[in-house]
């Protein structure tokens, strides 16, 4: 049996991360301020400056994460002049240059979403959860999140092609 000792650090991540030794963290999940959001709380970061602002943080996260660990980033693009900003895509590319592997993307579906106040788009009902890793072989516990398939599986599995069984 593997025992984990959870630790929670409270403070500015740019300061707290420096206290954590290299290669010691199994899982990092964060939802940083999005570009130009929460100006009263965080001061706001313009989309054009976001990558430059966040890369020092991801550099420290890369340092403290174990080779088998995972980093999950919850982030969403901002709309500027009726067009999605590209700062999240630019951040992904910059993180890859920094040494991260972008291994997966999940969607957080917000079921309580309602239509927006804009005439040209709906209110966002989802946000990205981007998974990054240091190495191609990382810990993955799929069994922990599996749910039973149900009776429909017999019909579905009986119709699989030969390539789907491989």
The CA radius of gyration of the chain, in Å to the nearest whole number, is 19
Three-state DSSP class for residue 132: strand
Three-state DSSP class for residue 150: coil
Short-list 9, 5, 31, 32, CA closest to 20 = 9
CB 131 within 8 Å of CB 88: no
Across the range 36-46, mean pLDDT stands at 72
Q: Which two tokens stand for residue 34?
A: 């999005």
Annotation: CATH topology of 13-165: Rossmann fold (3.40.50)
| Residue 102 pLDDT level (bands cut at 50, 70, 90) | very high
pLDDT, position 151 = 79
| Residue 118 pLDDT level (bands cut at 50, 70, 90) | low
Tell me: pLDDT of 66 over 70.
Answer: yes
């Amino acid at each position: 049996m593997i025992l984990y000792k959870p630790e929670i650090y409270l403070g500015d991540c740019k300061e707290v991360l420096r206290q954590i030794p290299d290669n010691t963290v199994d899982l990092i999940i964060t939802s940083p301020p999005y570009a130009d959001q929460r100006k009263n709380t965080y001061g706001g970061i313009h989309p054009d400056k976001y990558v430059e602002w966040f890369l020092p943080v991801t550099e420290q996260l890369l340092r403290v994460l174990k080779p088998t660990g995972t980093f999950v980033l919850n982030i969403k693009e901002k709309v500027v002049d009726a067009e999605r900003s590209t700062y999240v895509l630019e951040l992904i590319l910059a993180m890859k240059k920094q040494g991260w592997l972008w291994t997966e993307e999940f969607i957080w579906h917000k079921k309580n979403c309602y239509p927006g106040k804009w005439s040209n788009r709906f209110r966002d009902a989802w946000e990205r959860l981007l998974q990054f890793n240091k190495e191609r072989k990382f810990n993955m516990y799929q069994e922990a999140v599996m749910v039973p398939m149900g009776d429909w599986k017999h019909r579905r599995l009986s119709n699989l092609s030969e390539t789907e069984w491989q």
